[in-house]
Amino acid sequence: MIGPRPEVASLKPYHIPEVSARIILSANESPYNLPQSIIDEIKGQFDAIAYNRYPDPLSLELRTLIGEHYGLGPEKVFVGNGGDEVIQNLYLAYGGVGRKAVTFEPMFEVYGITGRMTGTEMITILRSPGDFTAEKVLPHAYMMDAALIFICCPNNPTADLVSLEAIEALLKITNALVVVDEAYAEFSGQTALPLLAKYKNLAILRTFSKAFSLAGLRAGYLLASDEVIENLLKVKLFFNFNKLSQVIARIAFLHRTIFEEKIKVILADRDRLFAQMKKLAGIEVFPSHANFILFRTKKPAAEVWQGVLDRGILIRNTSNQLLLENCLRVTVGTPEENKEFMKALSEVIER
Ligand code: PMP
């Protein structure tokens, strides 16, 4: 039988091993489910949905609502099944055979995987070893004839920020579409939004999966120029974003201030967890602008990961990524979960 395209044949399926654990701190999700008031409002809308009819292929109501919040029209907003689908659509429209995309590694792995899948040539620029920041290495992308440049801010998994000045300097000089992935911006408080009106080659990616407690729904959006959004609308699946997602994402976005309280709680808990981790001998902890913390262990990462899992807690072993030997990433959980994690980690590294 015929095989797939060569770009697909050389890929390994992206899969995070399905490991069950009592406490899940591996995917940077919110540890808090949707507030009851939002669940009740969703329930209230269930009966009125015409399930027999296709959804609005343009998700116009949701795009209008999101756009209004940022002072933008719906023609500057794109929605998809999570940031992942938006990234795929970016590659379908701007990547592909004969085109290049730049990432600053280690970075969110989906950029590379989706890029290679679409036949895009991936250019890897290494972050500064030691602190893993991208700020100083951004100029390496200035003169590349890339179609796409990804900046993840805060970056997953290193949790650092790139300054708006550095992003703007890149936007000024490059012809590429610069995608600033702000999946965790609700935690960092920094956004490239002020640059959007000035630079047509800027696109800002957001998700409902983190601060909005909706990883299970699959909803993300992109803010960009009319031209970019129009091109994404050309390549997306016709009915890509289902009716339930349109309704639920709209309700969550309408009530987004409700989530602010939990964001504050998560940030305070992150700082507490960071301070406790810093006191542990045997690990190096990296500063975080997001809802997760990267750390390096003296012991082999696989051993630490397994030891923590044996105590019922799943975290992420990131040591397969460039520069991240013996590094692991833990998501900030509830205070009880963080306490259990600290206990497990202390036992494992001091054993
Ligand atoms: N960008 C970054 C940096 C992420 O960490 C994630 C989720 N892990 C995403 C985008 C995509 O999230 P989702 O598809 O759930 O919206």
In a domain, 57, yes or no: yes
Mean pLDDT across the chain, nearest whole number?
96
Mutate to test the pocket of ligand 1, among 85, 104, 156, 294 (most ligand atoms within 8 A of CB): 156
99 shares its domain with 237 = yes
Q: Are residues 67 and 205 in the same domain?
A: yes
The answer to whether residue 41 sits within a structural domain is: no
DSSP 90-105: HHHHH-STT-EEEEEE
The protein residue whose alpha carbon is closest to atom 1 in ligand 1 is: 183
Supply the DSSP symbol for 183: T
Domain of 128 in residue numbering reads as 46-256
Q: Provide, rounded to the nearest whole percent, the portion of the chain with pLDDT above 70.
A: 99
Atom of ligand 1 nearest to the CA of 152: 3
Name the closest-CA residue to atom 10, ligand 1.
83
Q: 40 lies in a domain?
A: no
User: What is the biggest distance separating any 2 CA atoms in the chain, rounded to whole angstroms?
Assistant: 60
Nearest CA to ligand 1 atom 2: 183
pLDDT at position 8, please?
86
CA–centroid distance, residue 224 to ligand 1 (Å): 18
- Domain end among 224, 256, 288: 256
How many angstroms separate the CA atoms of 299 and 323, rounded?
16
* Ligand 1 centroid, distance to 191 Cα (angstroms): 16
pTM for the structure as a whole: 0.97
Q: For residue 182, what is the domain's CATH number?
A: 3.40.640.10
**In this structure, are 134 and 217 located in the same domain?**
yes
- The answer to whether residue 66 sits within a structural domain is yes
How many folded domains does the chain comprise?
Answer: 2
| Ligand 1 atom nearest to CA at 219 | 16
Task: Answer yes or no: are the C-beta atoms of 163 and 189 closer than 8 Å.
Answer: no
178 and 320 inside one domain: no
Per-residue model confidence as pLDDT tens digits over 89-125: 999 999 999 999 999 999 999 999 999 999 999 999 9
Task: Tell me the pairing of strands 77-80 and 220-223.
Answer: antiparallel
Ligand 1 geometric centre to CA of 215 (Å):
9
Same domain? For 152 and 299 the reply is no
Q: What CATH number is associated with residue 11?
A: 3.90.1150.10
Ligand 1: centre distance to CA 83 (Å) = 5
Domain boundary residue among 235, 256, 277?
A: 256
Dihedral over Cα of 260, 262, 267, 271: its sign: positive
Boundary (domain end) residue, out of 238, 256, 274: 256
- DSSP secondary-structure letter at 54? P
What is the CA(275)–ligand 1 centre distance, in A? 26
Residue-level length of the chain: 351
249 with 130, same domain: the answer is yes
Residue (of 139, 181, 179, 174) closest to 158 by Cα position? 181
Asked if the structure places residue 77 within a domain, the reply is yes
When pLDDT is cut at 50, 70 and 90, the band that residue 16 belongs to is low
CA of 3 to the centre of ligand 1 (A): 30
- Which tens digit of pLDDT belongs to each residue from 286-333? 999 999 999 999 999 999 999 999 999 999 999 999 999 999 999 999
Examine the domain organization and report whether 90 and 234 are in the same domain.
yes
pLDDT in tens, 41-84: 999 999 999 999 999 999 999 999 999 999 999 999 999 999 99
| Torsion angle in degrees (nearest 10) through CA of 21, 25, 26, 29 | 120
Residues 110 and 132 in one domain: yes
- 281 & 166 share domain: no
Residues 228, 327 within the same domain = no
Please report the pLDDT score of residue 248 as a whole number. Answer: 98
The tokens describing 327, both together, are 């590094």
The reported pLDDT for the residue numbered 13 is 76
Q: Whose CA is nearest to atom 12 of ligand 1?
A: 83
Q: Which residues contact 6 (CB under 8 A, 6 or more apart)?
A: none
Same-domain check for residues 244 and 336: no
CA dihedral 31, 33, 38, 44 (to 10 degrees): 170
State how far the Cα of 47 lies from the Cα of 39, in Å rounded to an integer: 14
Under the banding of pLDDT at 50, 70 and 90, the label for residue 17 is low
Q: How remote is the CA of residue 110 from the centroid of ligand 1, in Å?
A: 8
Position 92 in a domain: yes
Q: Is 236 a residue whose pLDDT tops 80?
A: yes
Before 106, cis peptide (omega within 30)? yes
